[in-house]
Structure 1
Amino acid sequence: MSLLQKVKLFAVISFVIVAGTVSAQSTVNADSLLQQAQQAAQQGNYNTSRKLARKVLVVAPAYTDAAILIGNTYTWEQKYDSASAVLKPLLATAPSHAEVYLALAQLGLRSKEHPEVILSYVDKGLAIAPQSQELLEYKIGALIELKKYKEADQLLESLTEKGITYKNIKAQLHNLASINSIRTEYQYATFNTNIPDWHLASLEYTRLIKPGSISGRVNYANRFEQQALQGELDFWPRLNDKTYLYLNAGFSASKLFPDYRAGLEVYRKLPLNMEVSLGARTLVYSNETIWLYTGHIGKYWGKYWAGIRPFIQQQHRKVQATGIIQLRRYLIDEDQHLTLTLAKGSTPATQVGLQEINRLDASRVGIESRFRLGNSCYWGALLQYEHEELSKESSRNRYTTSFSLQYRFE
């Protein structure tokens, strides 16, 4: 071998060794940076996580896990457009990576994308990783959104057989599949004056139908040594995915309840987990008609909901205003919660007798709870205090307790 050939051979070997070393160092650096980015994400430092993940992509542009992490952090921050811009191109560059479909399914569920699209992501991911517990859970979520409750329940049973516990999800799924419910409530009010105690009870049947839900209710009142019954019908039809209505009609032949009552309210879901409504109620007594104009604005965040509802009460030429503020804390799931209510104004929480509605003013504070008893039963309770101004010279304190029980079934 000539000297020139020896030199060329040495150069080639040296290049291979150096290139391999640099490649190995790049891989090590990329892995190390990705671990740091993942740790930052777990700690909630999403900006830091994205900066580190982008450094990974500079060192190793084809490192799909880094791009997925960037997309996920945007999803967790509810920056859905940014998450989509990062994740969707991976369908072309990494179509055999199951984590891509998992990230897109998560984004779809959180951003309220059409459930059929979410289901397609999940199925493609499961074709690659059929045992992925997370993908199977997202599939259950998509099936629930599509109202395919039996398929969701069957899939949930298959996971349960593997020893995975889904107690809360199973209870929620049971509720969604239950299209019938019976609810009864009893309310007891006592006063610091010589007024006899008030009693109010109701029995209600609700059925879910294709347009929405419909309820029939019978109310019983015992006040001022009089007893009375009232029949009511509520209908909650859906107009589209973001708009629905509340319709109410009632009738009574007694002097305690209004002869007729009716209500209409339009609800609209808004971005940022907000909802607004606008509506009216009318109460027709034998010698007086009352109009109540109302609406609300509510906001969900995390495990909380807050809402504000005004009432404008019109009787003849007299107009009164009432404001209600509510704060709700959800517990294990959305069916179990605690609610604090603060109200100022004359409009009562339940519109029964004309004397109660004719009060000048009132201040109210109440705490309400709702808990599950097994998969099908719920119980609720209310404790409430009101200071009522009946006239300029007369006022009283009212103490109200209420208990309810609901049973859902298919």
Structure 2
Amino acid sequence: MSMKLKFLLFFVGVCNSVFAQKINTDSLLVVTNNIIKSDTKEYFKAKKIAHQCLKVAPDYLDFHMALGRIHKNEQNIDSAKYYFQHVIDANPKYKEAFVFLSKTELDGKNNEAALATINKGIAIYPEEKEFYLVKLQIINSEENPKKSLEYLEFLTAKYPENVMFTNQLREVKSNMKSNRIGANYSYTSFSRDNYGPWHLSSVNYMKQFNKASIGGRISYIDRRINGASANFGYFYEIESYFKTTKKSYSFANIGFSEGKVFPEFRFLYSYYLTLGKGFETEIGYRYNQQQDIKLSSGILALGKYFKNNWINFRTSFLINEPKLYPSFSSTFRHYYNTKYDYFSFNLGYGTSPDERQTLTQFQDRVALTSFRFGAGYSKLFAKKYIIGVNSSFNNQEYYPEKFQNEYNISIDLTYLF
């Protein structure tokens, strides 16, 4: 065999080996990324494949990215940052690396580093929309409404057709006017002869702070029989919403009265936790004391946001009595424009301690049967006025095996400032 032929065969063999190697690493990269995306969380297996491939092809940056993503998923922040930074150092135009490094810095609560990283990416790719989305996420995490407002105004000017940016801007503006004063009037009529109507009215005020809000409400009810006032009284409340963690917040309310119509004392507490993917859960406690009757109730609820909609399933039950006497309700809202603009529908069974219209008779109704449904509409006008209208029908057992129909309509007026 001539020297030329030997050299040619050797060259072909080397080329085939290199080509086969490339095919194998590419295939293994697909396998590695599929493991990362799957729910199996076999990260050890994925890391083993990536490290083996890097021994063969140490400059294959996609495997460095894969290792960074694995460490990010495992909350190994420093290791994840090392691999993402290595990719950027090796190839400063690797788009994905800027996104993942910024989000990893954000996971580690290093907002300044996260912002610096994504700004470098924007300088290289000024038209890459995903970079602006990441930067918005970083700015929003600082919980500084003014900063979020300024950046969203920039984004809506840059992307005027983007509905998401427009809606977020409108939402931030409305939240910045979270101090409010309002009034409510509710009218309830009954199918039972010579009973009713009930007139319930209230005024309320809420002051918004950075991570909490506090406010008060004064309510007045006039319950009539044969058209004449039979029972009336005032109810005074103080309430607050306050953040507990980034993914949770709480609600507390204390109310009191003379005890003739409303409860002498009432305490409410709820803990809300965001579960991710639009889900939110509520765990709560209610205490009502009226005359010699003291009732404690538990609250459980699960809500879900999807697109422009929200649905919630809720139950309450007594926890200091032999029987639970549970209530069940479901609420659906369709939002448009802002959080103050929506249509709502609700269905319910039983009596809940949170129903304002029947609060004066909770201790009498909790053991009785009721079926109800209702609808509502809320609208924000001129960026600072909210008008809400709600109506409901309730088929209520008022004495064992005796029922009455109740028709309610209420109007809410709120001023934001």
1:7 aligns with 2:22: no
Instruction: Note the C-alpha offset of 1:71.
Output: 8.6
Aligned to 1:121: 114
1:323 counterpart letter in structure 2: S
Note if 1:373 corresponds to 2:376. Answer: no
d(CA) in 2 for partners of 1:27, 1:129: 32
CA offsets per residue over residues 352-383 of structure 1, 9 Å max, x none? Answer: 66456423513233345465536545444433
Q: What secondary structure sits across from 2:300 in the alignment?
A: strand
CA distance in 2, matches of 1:289, 1:33: 73
Alpha carbons 2:283, 2:301 under 8 Å: kept: no
**TM-score, normalized by length of structure 1?**
0.71
**Residue 141 (structure 2) pairs with residue 141 (structure 1):** no
> Does the CA-based 8 Å contact 1:388-1:398 persist in structure 2?
yes
**1:189 aligns to what?**
188
Instruction: Give the 3 Å change call, closer, same or farther, for CA 380–81 of structure 1 in structure 2.
Output: farther
In structure 1, distance between residues paired with 2:415 and 2:57:
57
2:155 aligned to which of 155, 159, 177:
159
Q: Which amino acid aligns with 2:298?
A: G
Q: 1:345 to 1:138 in 2, by over 3 A?
A: same
| Partners of 2:118 and 2:135 within 8 A in 1 | no
Q: Structure 1 residues 373, 281: CA separation in 2 closer, same or farther (over 3 Å shift)?
A: same
CA spacing shift, 1:331–1:174, aligned 2, 3 Å? same
Is the contact made by 1:101 and 1:125 (CA closer than 8 Å) also made in structure 2? yes
Q: Which moved more, 1:23-32 or 1:237-246?
A: 23-32
Cα offset for 1:128? 2.8
Report the aligned-residue RMSD. 4.8
Which residue of structure 1 lines up, in the alignment, with residue 241 of structure 2?
Answer: 236
1:148 is displaced (CA, Å) by 1.5
Match of 1:293 in 2: 296
Equivalent pair of 1:270/1:276 in contact (CA under 8 Å)? no
Is the Cα–Cα contact under 8 Å of residues 381 and 403 in structure 1 kept in the other structure? yes
Q: Whole-Å Cα distance in 2 between the matches of residues 271 and 155 of structure 1?
A: 27
Residues 178/106 of structure 1: CA separation in 2 closer, same or farther (3 Å cut): farther
Mapped to 1, the partners of 2:396 and 2:362 lie a distance apart of 9
Gaps of 5+ in 1: none
Q: Give the conservation status (yes or no) of the 8 Å contact 1:311–1:323.
A: yes
Identity of aligned residues (%): 20
Q: How many residues matched?
A: 385
Q: Which amino acid aligns with 2:88?
A: P
Taking structure 2 as the reference length, the TM-score comes to: 0.70
The answer on whether the counterparts of 1:265 and 1:295 sit within 8 Å (CA) in structure 2 is: no
CA distance in 1, matches of 2:234, 2:387: 24
Once structures 1 and 2 are overlaid, which stretch shifts more, 60-69 or 244-253? Answer: 60-69
Tell me what 1:102 maps to.
Answer: 99
Question: Would you say 1:408 and 2:412 are equivalent positions?
Answer: no
- Over 3 Å counting, the alpha-carbon distance change for 1:70 and 1:350 in structure 2 is farther
Residue pair 1:183, 1:205 contacting (<8 A) in 2 also = yes
Aligned residues of 1:364 and 1:384 also touching (Cα < 8 A) = no
C-alpha distance 313-271 of structure 1, shift in aligned 2 (>3 A): closer
Pick aligned residue for 2:330 from 326, 332, 345: 326
Unaligned runs of 5+ in 2: 44-48
Q: Cα offset for 1:157?
A: 1.9
Q: Distance in 1 between matches of 2:77 and 2:338?
A: 28
Quick one: structure 1 residues 125 and 340, their matched pair in 2 at CA, closer, same or farther if it must change by over 3 Å? same
- Provide the residue aligned with 1:394 in structure 2: 402
